[in-house]
Amino acid sequence: MSDVEKGPVQNNGSSNYDLRAEESRDDALRKIKTAGSLTISPELFEKIYLSPKTRVKGELRATVGNPTPLGLLGFLLSLSPLACTLMGWRNAGGNGAATVGVFYFVGGILMIMSCILEFIIGNTFTFVVIGSFGAFWLSLASTLTPFYGATDVAQFNQSFAFYYLFWGILCYMYLVCSVRTNLVFMIIFLTLGTGFELLAGASWQLANGNVSLANRLNVTAGAVYFVSIIFGWYLFFVQLLASVDFPYTLPVGDTSHLVKGLSEKNGKDE
């Protein structure tokens, strides 16, 4: 008999349920209403929150809406036009200056809102990722706004390249951590880190006067980012399907089982 068929496990008068990805809507709602506690499978959890399953106090995750798709949406609606601009589609250019309003009000505001909500419900990894990228879009928008006095000269490009450089390093750190989530998330961080390093190289080459090479690096960065947004839109669609209890689900390549968590190892040792 499967875990689902076994039904509730009584614990001090309350029922503990194991909520799995294949649960029907009616069964899931019934269990949520009657359960003393809920256990969501790691695969379902990382699909919903893009975060390793960790213990938190309280029941906010089962009470409030999931803020993760909102942050992902802000990220995608900002990176998508930037990727197309960097590749020069339909003679686009300006390294994102035309979409500076999108960076402020979609990438910045939506992601900051989402990160605050992720913090409230206790999703530390997702909170840090979404919050950092919200700050990135706001900082990029400020750099592209003439009011702040950034000038496209050699010394500026030499300096700004370091910003891209360390953003790439940060994304590679996120990549290592995302091994405990899913394959799609890992690919997104891998391509983001590579894109940032390419933009750093483009800025340095532009400062050195190698305009042709800088343009090629920008185009390559845009192509790498385009791979990011393909997987990003796919992940966003997966989350939307889960949010409306769609009867079909799409795979994201669960990798949470590849690297066991420290608390899980300690539990086994005990």
Q: Are 133 and 118 in contact (CB under 8 A)?
A: no
* pLDDT single digits (tens) 170-197: 999 999 999 988 999 999 999 999 999 9
pLDDT of residue 115: 95
Taking 90 as the threshold, does the pLDDT of residue 237 lie above it? Answer: yes
Taking 90 as the threshold, does the pLDDT of residue 200 lie above it? Answer: yes
Vertex 126: Cα angle to 143 and 142 (nearest 5):
10
Instruction: Label residue 267 by pLDDT band (50, 70, 90).
Output: low
* Cross-strand partners of 14: 11
Vertex 72: Cα angle to 40 and 74 (nearest 5):
150
pLDDT of residue 255: 85
Which has more pLDDT, 238 or 4? Answer: 238
Q: What tokens appear for 259 in the block?
A: 């690297």
Rounded mean pLDDT, 213-228: 97
Instruction: Label residue 254 by pLDDT band (50, 70, 90).
Output: confident
Most confident of 8-12, 64-68, 111-115: 111-115
Q: Are 119 and 127 in contact (CB under 8 A)?
A: yes
Query: Any idea which residue has 């809507």 for tokens?
Result: 25
Prediction pTM value: 0.78
Q: What tokens appear for 22 in the block?
A: 């294949």
